[in-house]
Chains A and B, each alone.
Chain A
Amino acid sequence: MFKRSYYIAPTLVALLILLVLNLPNSTTVRIKTSLGSVFLPLFGITGVTQQASARVGDNLLPKSELIAENNSLRRQNQQLRLQLAQAATSSKENERLRQLVGWQKQSRWNVKLARVILRDPANWWRTVQIDLGSRNGLSNNIPVLSTEGFLIGRVSSVSLTKSQVVLIDDPNCKVPAIVENEARNQGLITSGGPLDESFVNLTYLLSSANVKPGQRVVTSELSAIFPKGILIGQIADNARLVESGLISEAEVKLAANLSSIEEVWVLFP
Chain B
Amino acid sequence: MTILPNILILLTALLVVFFQGAFNGIRDLLGAQVDLLPALMVYTALTSGPVMMMVLSVFAGFMFDTLSVNPLGISVLPLLLIGFLLQLRRDLLLRDQIYAQFALGLIASALAPLMTVLILLTLGQSPLLGWGSLWQWIVMSGGGGIATPLFFFLFDRLNHALGYQPIVESSFRADREIRRGRN
Name A residues whose Cβ lies closer than 8 Å to a Cβ of B. Answer: 2, 6, 9-10, 13-14, 17, 20-21, 23, 28, 31-32, 35-36, 38-39, 42, 46, 117-127, 129, 156, 164, 166, 169-172, 191, 193-196, 259-260
Contact = CB atoms under 8 A, between A and B. Distances in A.
B109 interface: no
A245 to B, nearest CB: 23
Interface in B11-27: 14-15, 17-18, 20-22, 24, 27
A147 B121 CA distance: 35
A21 B66 CA distance: 13
B28 A259 contact: yes
Most buried by B among A6, A14, A117: A14
11 contacts: A10-B54, A10-B84, A13-B57, A32-B66, A42-B22, A120-B68, A122-B69, A123-B136, A124-B120, A124-B128, A260-B28
Interface in B45-94: 50-51, 54, 57-58, 61-74, 76-77, 80, 84, 87-88
Given A32-B72, A260-B28, 10 more contacts: A13-B58, A13-B76, A14-B77, A17-B73, A17-B76, A36-B66, A39-B63, A120-B67, A121-B17, A129-B67
B171 interface: no
B31 interface: yes
Contacts of A17: 58, 61, 73, 76-77, 80
B133 A38 contact: no
A123 B68 contact: no
A124 B129 contact: yes
Contact of A166 (B69, B80, B131): B69
A121 B64 contact: yes
A28 B70 contact: no
A191 B128 CA distance: 8
Contacts of A194: 128-130, 132-133, 136
Interface string B113-152: 1001100100100111111110110001000000000000
Contacts of B27: 119, 259
B31 A125 contact: no
Contact of B21 (A6, A13, A32, A120): A120
B103 interface: no
A199 B18 CA distance: 27
Contacts of A117: 22
B33 interface: yes
